[in-house]
Chain A
Amino acid sequence: MPKKVQKSLSPIRHTSPDEAPSELRPSDLVRPLHPVRRALPGYLFALAGVALTTVVIQIIPGADRIVNISLLYLLIVIASAYHSGSGPSVVAALLAVLSFDWFLVEPRHTFTVNDPAEWLALSTFLLTAIVISQLTQTLRLRAEEARQRERETSALSRASWAVASQVSHQRTLTEVLQQMTTVIPGEAAAIVVHSSGGLPEVVASYPAHQDSLLDSLTNEELNIVSAALESGCAATRNGDELSLSNNTAYVPLLMEQRVLGVLFLRKRHDQAFSVEERRMMESLANHAAVALERHRLTQAEAQAEALAEADKLKTALLSMVSHDFRSPLAAIKASITGLLQDNPPWDPATQRELLAGINQETDRLNRMVGDILALSRLEADAWRPQYEMVSIAEVVSAALDSFNEEENRRITVNIDPAVRYASFDSVQIVQVLYNLLENALKYSPSASGVELRVTQPDQTLAIEVLDRGFGLPAGEEEKIFQRFYRAVRWHESSLPGSGIGLAICRGLVEAHGGHLQAVNRDGGGSVFRITLPLDENTHQPDKAA
């Protein structure tokens, strides 16, 4: 999502504010703009240092007679070389020779030197001073380079760690940019990707929290960003991955020939990028590309998982249609084909019996269709109980209505007289009761009974379905509530069931802020216990599952 403009950029932290790293490297593409003006303090320091040394030698009595007092000047040369570089230190050496000659070498106050030995001494001094100045200068460069390497290594390792450890790709990318600006003094940096709408989108920027970097870009910069996003592959083909314009770089983030984004960097100083900086940018760009690619793969994985889940649902529905729907259909077809044999004529009672059976089986089919719809809502996580005050007894009898006489004979109902009304979605709770009762009947011998017990302990409504059936397989008490789960012992069985009924029950109960648990019953069989809060204020969907 594009962010808002904020033109003022906060100051940028970096380690050596006054000495641009490029000044120190032989590989610089462009020197600082005004080298003379920059170096001026160095020359002044050299001049002042030499003058001060001369004064000190003049003031201290007898100092001028000390052999090798000229070595004092070397200190100034070394200091100049260390602080201001080669030019000022050479100037310091020359000035030292001249002032030594003028003030201290006989005849004084002339540049004339009579003694050839003095000539030799002065020349040696000059040579030594220049060599020392160059050595000091080199040493200083080495030390500076080492520091820079250390900064780069540290930046790369921090970026690597960010890529490896951060879960959020945005935080990773922000960290990468931050590390980049510790090495390359950047004024503004950003990683731009194609948004889903096809427009460039900033996923990370430096300074962080800058509302919109896109808007702070000039039109020209924006065009180059877009072009780099569009044609990162073309840039690679041309063999030039960095399209550099003065102090601004656009580095395509490539992964297997695909452009994942563009790294944009505008340097603080108007100076071009050194080879080291390019290398650093490319390396950090690779880090960013890895982070982006990982993000993309994570998304793809999530998508694949969703697809696999949808596929599983489809398979389960197909199996439900082919398996569970056949039973009622078989009963209906057998009854109807029987009824169609109208010779000899049917007696009305038998005919009615068959028709009643057909009626019940069509209801059953209808409930299965309802289950499928409920399942799709469960998929969409769109349970919205419509609360209403209902009589518990009515809800129970509504659930019992769906069973035939034979099944009803097996069901005993025990409702605590204290329990009268409760607030919940009666349609959904009827469905839960029906599913649980049907389940209990299905998984217990046809001779055994099933009990429905409603009590009211501690401001909750407890509804229990107790059976003396086959019980729950050890260790599978929770698994049975998973979608499409069927107890191992029924896998090869022909007992119809798609493993969605209990999942729907739990989804519905939890949408009411309640709990549904199953335990084995003492003495055989199982107990399914629904606990619903009675307090109306606790109608918060429970997402614990």
Chain B
Amino acid sequence: MNVLVIDDEPQIRRALRIGLERNGYVVVLAATGEEGLDMAATQPPDIVILDLAMPGLEGLEVCRQLCTWSKAPIIVLSVRENEKDKIDALDAGADDYLTKPFSLEELLARMRAVFRRVRHDAEAETSLFSGGDLVVDFARRRVTLAGQEVHLTPTEYELLKFMAQHPDRVLTHRHLLSKIWGNDYADDVHTLRVHIANLRDKIEPDPARPRFLHTEPRIGYRFRVE
């Protein structure tokens, strides 16, 4: 597996190179956005780890450009509290994000989740999601929890279906809203919150500690499989 690390901090590049190589990845390093784009073109990576905080060509711009011609999933790194950067990166096509400082395990876990999802996407469209007690039967539009049928409104069902089809992936508010409600509703975060709360009441064993519908504060939601 080829990993392209784009980060202007030499120490982080070094730590990631050593840590990732030790875990069986082939690591290519780039210190700037331009260099990163060159590397991605010459040695197509299986995954890109991209720092948003870089001089010169910004991480966000690199992310946008990469997504136009590369299929490699992107995990962005950010030192900022600023959620806007992460949302912009996710909306621009990044698959996940990590806030610095992060542990190597965290990064490895995110990479595994991304790879799993890529494989999942590559497989033939599944007609069924099953995790724990929850089963979503996309063919019959039926949701059951421990064998009991759960009654969902059409919108709730569409929301759950979309999230279950994109497991382990941060879905921004804007993304979910424009997919389910349409572009005109892209900023209506409140509506989304209400529907998520209703869904949790119906499918979560403990709605206060959701197992499936995980909140990414100020960014969006993530449908967790594990």
Contact = CB atoms under 8 A, between A and B. Distances in A.
Nearest to B60: A494
Given A330-B100, A334-B19, A354 B59 contact: no
A496 B79 contact: yes
B205 interface: no
Interface size class of A (residues with CB under 8 A): 20 to 34
Given A323-B80, A493-B58, A360 B11 contact: yes
A357 interface: yes
Given A331-B11, A341-B104, A323 B19 contact: no
Interface string B77-121: 111110001000000000000001111111100000000000000
A279 B40 CA distance: 88
Interface stretch (A116-124, A415-423, A440-448, A510-518): A440-448
B54 A494 contact: yes
Contacts of A495: 53-55
Contact of A334 (B15, B31, B32, B58): B15
A123 to B, nearest CB: 106
A333 B99 CA distance: 12
Contact of B32 (A326, A350, A445): A445
A338 interface: yes
Contacts of B58: 492-494
B12 A334 contact: yes
A322 B32 CA distance: 23
A353 interface: yes
A338 B18 CA distance: 8
B79 A338 contact: no
Contacts of B22: 338, 341, 350
A472 B43 CA distance: 35
Interface string B1-40: 0000000111110111011001100000001100000000
B102 A333 contact: yes
A12 interface: no
A329 interface: yes
B104 to A, nearest CB: 4
B81 A357 contact: no
Contacts of B59: 494
A322 B102 contact: no
A334 B104 contact: yes
B80 A357 contact: no
Q: Find the residue from B9, B19, B31, B101 having the highest chain A CB count within 10 A.
A: B101
Given A322-B81, A445-B56, A495-B53, A333 B11 contact: no
A337 interface: yes
Given A330-B101, A338-B18, A445-B32, A494 B12 contact: no
A443 B101 contact: no
A332 B59 CA distance: 22
Given A322-B81, A446-B32, A493-B58, A406 B18 contact: no
B63 to A, nearest CB: 12
Nearest to B19: A338
B159 interface: no
A330 B106 CA distance: 12
A335 B106 CA distance: 13
Interface in A452-491: 470, 490
Contacts of A451: none
Contacts of A525: none
B15 A338 contact: yes
Given A327-B100, A329-B101, A334-B102, A446 B31 contact: yes
A354 B15 CA distance: 6
Given A332-B101, A338-B22, A327 B12 contact: yes
B177 interface: no
B160 interface: no
Interface centre among A322, A341, A490 (most CB of B within 10 A): A341
Contacts of A322: 80-81
A404 interface: yes
B9 A443 contact: no
Interface of B: 8-12, 14-16, 18-19, 22-23, 31-32, 51-56, 58-59, 77-81, 85, 100-107
Given A335-B19, A495-B53, 5 more contacts: A322-B81, A327-B53, A330-B101, A350-B22, A445-B32
10 contacts: A331-B15, A333-B101, A333-B102, A334-B16, A334-B104, A357-B15, A360-B11, A361-B11, A446-B31, A490-B55
